[in-house]
Amino acid sequence: MPSDEDEWAIADSAWWGRWFDRCAVRLRRGRAVGTGPLPPWSVPRGARVRHVEGTLLPGLRDAHVHSSLVDLRAVRAGGIAQVDDLGSVPALIAELVAADDPKLPRVRAVGAFLTAPGGYPSDRSWAPPGSFREVHSVIDAETAVGEQHQFGAQAIKVVLHPEAGPTLPARVLKEIVSTAHDLKLPVIAHTEGDNTVRDAYEAGVDRLAHTPWTESIDDRLLTDVAQRMSWISTLDIHGYGADTVELRTAIDNLRRFFNRGGTTCYGTDLGNGPLPMGINPREVAALQTAGLAPDDVLTAMTDLDNPATPPCWVPNGLDRPPSRFASSLRTARVLDPPPTS
């Protein structure tokens, strides 16, 4: 039986893995439930109905955010319904999650950076104590992963950045990955520097926190990586709208990765430099330059297997032509839940 808190959003159009004309989506407490859009005549008689002008979308996600460095209310107001926090003080993130503030995006987190003693980002001013955890041995690796799990981490993040300091030995990295996988937690790696993508792949890492930009990835390795890993885009941090060597390298790597069937996730590294709070049209445009069509970009920004995220909508309708897509998507907003009585 439908819940008393159920309502139906009837939209002019929708994208839910594919395009729909006028349709209805069932909501509960402001979040989509069920299988997605249905014909408007599917709405039960007497149900609460909200008419949504424009295009309805699943909740849009930024898969790389540092919540303690940004105004999350502004991020939500800018159209992002969910953020994946990739490195903050775990206790602070736990407080955000517990608050369940409807004015904030939904927050999923990795806990602290797991790094070698003295490794990146332990010497960075933006990384306060608690936002990183130095791992001292194979035995300590199991403890470190367990600590993040207890804080509610939904993934584990490791650092491979040899130019910035010591890095985790291969045996310690593999123990982190093995322990995380035993707990059903994926592992995300910050890789920066020669051969770090290969090191991450050989250790069993599941996702890269950034599209590689410091080296051109060998075609053979890229083919293997594309079969098992996903990459978070973070293209715009390499110039913030300017053309740079690093941006060109990243876009070339992503194009070849995507063409080999690799899974791309939209993410901006929000908190790192002058990035828009909310949807970043420069990131969207860079993804298009890397060969992603508008539907591919929407797939990279959404998680249809995660209905707990509030849906978004584009008030004037989403422009599908590639030349107008990024600027149109920038106007998307999170659909607010109905007021409580």
* Dist. CA 184–CA 111, nearest whole Å: 15
**What pLDDT does residue 98 have?**
82
pLDDT in tens, 213-247: 999 999 999 999 999 999 999 999 999 999 999 99
**What pLDDT does residue 1 have?**
39
**What pLDDT does residue 29 have?**
86
**What pLDDT does residue 274 have?**
96
Burial label for 115, CB within 10 Å (0-12, 13-18, 19+), is buried
Q: Average pLDDT over the chain, rounded to whole?
A: 94
CA angle 34, 37, 40 (to 5 degrees): 115
Portion of the chain with pLDDT greater than 70, in percent: 97
Confidence of residue 33 (pLDDT cuts 50, 70, 90): confident
Confidence of residue 339 (pLDDT cuts 50, 70, 90): low
Q: Which whole number is the average pLDDT over 83-88?
A: 95
Q: Which whole number is the average pLDDT over 87-105?
A: 88
Burial label for 76, CB within 10 Å (0-12, 13-18, 19+), is buried
pLDDT in tens, 306-329: 777 899 999 999 999 999 999 999
pLDDT at 2 over 70: no
Confidence of residue 96 (pLDDT cuts 50, 70, 90): confident
User: What pTM, to 2 d.p., does this model score?
Assistant: 0.95
**What pLDDT does residue 310 have?**
92
> Which pair of structure tokens corresponds to residue 167?
């890095």
Q: Which whole number is the average pLDDT over 68-88?
A: 96
- Of 2 and 88, the structure prediction assigns the larger pLDDT to 88
Count of residues in the chain: 341
